[in-house]
Amino acid sequence: MPRSKQYRHDETSIYPLLETNIDVSIMEFSQEPIVGPRSEWSIQRHGQDTPFRHHTVIQKYVQGLLERNGYQDLVEYNVTVERVEKLKECGIWRLTLRKSGPAKTRDYWWTEDFDAVVVASGHYTVPFVPYIEGLEEFAKAYPCSVEHSKGYRGPDKYRGKVKWERRTIFKFCC
């Protein structure tokens, strides 16, 4: 089937300088602490005992858990769940799945049955853009000037283009 234009998992929010924004102790299993290094960036901002880690530390931690426990063959990446239905007659969960083919030009669809389903998609998967009067017209008039934070990949694109004036005062009224 030709590849869909809809939002896909491969449109990630991860960018090179991304750090966690919660303490690693909340993300780790008690029997397997996260011991990865602290980044210089995080140490400069939060001190030697910074609880935050670079995204690659968390990725290596999860991959290590899978490999040490023999689960790596039970996980498949880059697959989207397109439909979940419970078959009432037998209590089985049927999932309709989709994966990109070579060169991401085709999508492959299939179904698999499971005893249980855990939904853990995260709340930052699909970007929300609120209605702001005039934003659509502004974006059309100035292409590439409006971007959701999900598209952020680092500061280089903005270096030398954004200037702040400290004398600007914002007044909020109720």
Q: Rounded to two decimals, what is the model's pTM?
A: 0.67
Task: Choose the weakest-confidence range: 6-15, 24-33, 49-58, 131-140.
Answer: 6-15
Count CB-CB contacts under 10 A for residue 39.
Answer: 17
Task: Choose the weakest-confidence range: 96-100, 132-136, 149-153.
Answer: 149-153
Q: What is the pLDDT of residue 158?
A: 80
Element (H, E) at 135: helix 135-141
Residue that has been written with the tokens 């880059």 in this structure: 78
Q: What is the 3-state composition of the chain as percent helix, strand, coil, each rounded to the nearest 5?
A: 25, 20, 55
Cα dihedral value 129, 148, 63, 53, nearest 10: -110
Please, are residues 120 and 140 in contact by the beta-carbon 8 Å criterion?
no
99 phi, psi to nearest 5 deg: -140, 145
